[in-house]
Amino acid sequence: MATELYVGRVRSVVLITLLSIITLGLYWFVWFYQLNRDLQKHLGSGVNPAGRLVLFILVPVVGWFVAVLLTGRSVRRAQLNASNDSLTVPSYHAVWAAVVPFLGWLVAAGYLQRGANRAWLKINHAFETSTRTQVTVACPDCDTRFATFFNPLLARPVACPQCGRAGDV
């Protein structure tokens, strides 16, 4: 059984900033919801995009801190799933968003989107290289050797062609 892994959209930090400035901050809310939606699809549970956006809009300062902190933690989990070396520090972005309204939101957006972009690009790179990586597997029961493709992010069961024993690659 293959496991599906959602990879979010890579977005330009400069474009997010420019559109947020041009629309007087309205695009920032759209971006915040979209990033959290991507994280929800990738991580599966624990992310509520609408809830975080409502918290951000309705509860000034504390809501800004908590919503950005939770989003930062989700970005960090996505980076850990992708085995990134450089990880996002969620509290740093949350402080920016809470202490410096508007400008801090743009700074937080830049760092959060950059962190998410690193995770998505690392996952895409692993998929691209894995399609060309063929490994030889030996069955522990019958010692039959056979070739299969290896995907480092998505382990899947492979059945031995000789005896039918299933194992993860």
**Residue position matching structure tokens 């990134």:** 84
pLDDT in tens, 39-95: 999 898 788 999 999 999 999 999 999 999 999 999 999 999 888 888 989 999 899
8 A C-beta contact, residue 111 and residue 88:
yes
Alpha carbons 62 and 96: distance in angstroms, whole number: 12
- pLDDT tens-place string over residues 117-158: 999 888 876 655 544 455 566 666 777 665 665 555 445 556
Q: Is the pTM of this model over 0.75?
A: no
Confidence grade of residue 107 (pLDDT, cut at 50, 70, 90): very high
Taking 3-state DSSP, the helix, strand and coil percentages for the chain, each rounded to the nearest 5, stand at 55, 10, 35
3-state secondary structure of 148: strand
Res 136: pLDDT: 65
Residue 169: what pLDDT?
Answer: 41
102-107-110 Cα angle (round to 5): 125
Grouping H, G, I as helix, E, B as strand and the rest as coil, residue 53 is helix
| Burial of 135 per CB tally in 10 Å (0-12, 13-18, 19+) | exposed
pLDDT at position 162, please?
65
Residue 35 C-beta-side C-alpha neighbours within 13 Å: 34
pLDDT band at 167 (very low <50, low <70, confident <90, very high): low
Amino acid 158: pLDDT: 60
